[in-house]
Structure 1
Amino acid sequence: MHTDAAPHGAPTQDLAAKIPPADEVAGVFGLSAAEQEIWARARPHLDVRNNDAHSLYAWGIARQLLPLVPGVDPDVVLPAILLHDTGWSCVPRELVLSAIAPGGGRPDLVRTHEIEGARIAREILEDVGHPPALIERITAIVDGHDSRREALSADDAVVKDADKIWRLTPHGITTVMGWFGLTREQAHRLCGYRVHDHLFTEPGRVMAAGFAAVASVDDAPERLALG
């Protein structure tokens, strides 16, 4: 028995035998071997404005949405979300934030990252031997994931939703704060304005509302007073 003091003075207990297996708990998962191959090739293209961490969080959100949205293909959705922002590596770093800034930004640069992202995605997927028919569907999603206002398919809808919902996660709020010099409350309002009314799936809307509830409490004076 481990007896080091836990918070509040309660003795700790050895709970190892009580922890359930990962496959018995919702939302506990990791990248498959095939996805790890794609990620290893995508990561060098994602070292721009936190796109590497963003893509992993968005992958997790998409992975959780898969069983909740009818008609989606994980072999399309999950590679697409890992690859969707690789094209920002082809935009000058000093222009990336101006491209996505509120109030208009640079649509031309947003479009550039989609076109280049589709090209990079095709190269990576061909390199790992992804089926050609799936490559066509994945690159079509990447090429337009931000600028296209409608969803091409259920797969595209999940990718679009996962990409946007990330903004409301704790990591997303903190990242947006850093990008634009905002307070947490300002970042939450900005992200919420750009997320809730632009989602395509009902499960995505529910998930976004849950993250928004957490963000609201994170900034509540009562929570802040607790330290």
Structure 2
Amino acid sequence: MSADPLSRLASLEGVPSAYAAARDGIDVVLRDRGLRRTSPETTADSLLRGAHASGVLEGSASSLVEVREGAGDEVARDAVRVSTELLGLAPALSRTPLQALARIHAVAAAGLPEEQRGRPRDEAAAERLRGIGGLLTGETSAPALLLAAVVHAELVTAAPFASHNGIVARAAERLVLVARGVDEKSLIVPEAGHLALRPAYESNLRGYAEGGPAGVHAWLLYAAEAYAAGAEASPLRRAAE
């Protein structure tokens, strides 16, 4: 195995330019829309918007207004619960990623029996989790956005936990962007980007799982587009409108 398993993916046709453009778009939003003036409330708003979008992608029927009022359905509440604890796990994601992922699942699945919270389904799932942990602790020259995209897709397609794998995957994706310095205050909303592009999101995840190298390539190109949409969904953009 390559010492940098992401390097090949980062050099695929169209990927370098797509991720450079996505990062530029994020940086423009963070720089030009008042990063120095942001507050904890702005971060909280971004996290709440992300929790709502992630919940909808997981099957929630709750509106953003309902989620804000604490009246969301069970899936929405699960996603919101993760969002309230997520940023505190950023240091652990880089040092002990398996513990961080287990904690995200345990928080999301608080209503399940204890033996199902934070634990992989079986040894095969545990092995996939170890591989994801290796990506998060290994040295790579790939952009942090690409790492986030791969971690997201791996968690969804491996489905290592008994439930809530999509919520875990999208939370981990956001956390990579925080931990790797792309968006330290967690002000963009990648989950909303995926929701805005939902048909492409779901079809490209299927392609990642079943489509071989072409499916992986298509997912990476899609994810760059989703990150650009997530930047547009930031509360910073909305505050400037």
Shorter-chain TM-score above 0.5: no
Q: Of the two structures, which has the highest relative contact order with CA contacts closer than 8 Å and spacing of 6 or more?
A: 2
TM-score (norm 1): 0.32
TM-score (norm 2): 0.30
